Amino acid sequence: MKTIQLDRQNTHQTPNVRKAEELLAHTDIQLNGDRPWDIQVHNPEFYQRVLSGGSTALGESYMDGWWDCEAPDQFFHKLIMARLDSKVIPLSWKINILKTKILNMQTKLKSRKSVEKHYEFSTDLFISFLDPYNQYTCAYFNDTDDLDIAQEKKLELICRKLMLSPKDKVLDIGCGWGGFAKFAAERYQCHVTGLTISDKQLEYAKKICDGLPVTIIKSDYRDYKGTHDKVLVCGMIEHVGYKNYKTLMQTVNHCLKEEGLFLLQTIGNNISVTTTDPWSNKYIFQNAVIPSAKDITTAAEGLFVLNDWHSFGAFYDKTLMAWHRNFKKNWNSIKDSYDDRFYRMWTFYLLSCAGSFRSNKSQLWQIVFSKRERKAGYQSIR
């Protein structure tokens, strides 16, 4: 890969460099500076590429080795705090936003294609940085700095909030690799039905839950019919799309018994949107949308009673940093299946997300619903 190292003394030679420095003026980020959050530019074409291409170009130029940063998480934290992430929006993305307002980008077919793009990576990739229960959602770092313990605390928190008991039949919509199903079945002796549309997750979940009262089914949530005491949607509504929030809530309502409980764990947006960051949409989570509080309550209105709303987005920063440390530490065990560009892409993904949560731009919510008012009320659990 051919790169050109720029001399910091010559960074004022072009209008594009001056424009970049103007944009960075209020971020405390320097071009070719010596602090962990400063960026080192290796290719002079970087400036024009990013100024014209926005978020997508920033990520792709990093993947191509055109720039580096010792601490990308700190870089993104400063970038977002200065709201620079919203200053450069190319015309192509404005057109895409318009398209999402007209079309349903998360139909059954499109959802399957989106899953294939991300979750059909080798299972070894995810195992390399996740905990033993393969939890690909925020951990609960309450009185611990250990990722494995924090993920068990998160699973235990979900079980307690759902008031699980051995008699319960639990539905896990978007069950991932079966970690919650395994945990709940082993610790609470309840029966868990997990839904996924990923073939690799289906295969892995069936394997780790073998011998337990767990049923893993390949099914879109819109096709499933069944009745359950408790329902969990953890890290899945982000893939549903804003046109389908109500449909998901109606599905859960139909599947949940009258006295049942429904727990939703989701990344949260501070405003209502119809799409996600363009680089992430292209390379990581195609057609994903992060719901706002308004999106969720509007979709749930008339179907559920809101019993509890628990916010712990700061823990997602710690989760992502732990994932990145594991990914970096275990890279040698999986690198034969990938290349350097993929390594840089995954690093950019994990650390840019960490910067987003650190900046309070992104939230993490656990919300407990019931179908109607409960006779004994609901006691919040933390």
* Residues recognised as catalytic: 353
The DSSP output letter for 62 is H
| Contacts of residue 148, Cβ cutoff 8 Å, sequence gap at least 6 | 131, 132
Backbone φ, ψ for residue 207 (5° rounding): -70, -50
Residue type, 27: T
DSSP string, 333-363: HHGGGS-HHHHHHHHHHHHHHHHHHHTTSEE
User: Could you tell me if 351 and 302 are in contact, meaning their C-beta atoms sit under 8 angstroms apart?
Assistant: no
Beta strand segments in the chain, E: 39-41, 67-69, 169-173, 191-196, 214-218, 228-234, 256-269, 305-311, 362-370
Q: How far is CA 29 from CA 25, 80, 370, in A?
A: 7, 12, 47
Pairwise CA distance, residues 255 & 264, whole Å:
14
Half-sphere exposure of 126 (CA within 13 A, CB side): 18
Nearest to 346 by CA among 125, 84, 198, 130: 125
Pairwise CA distance, residues 321 & 225, whole Å:
38
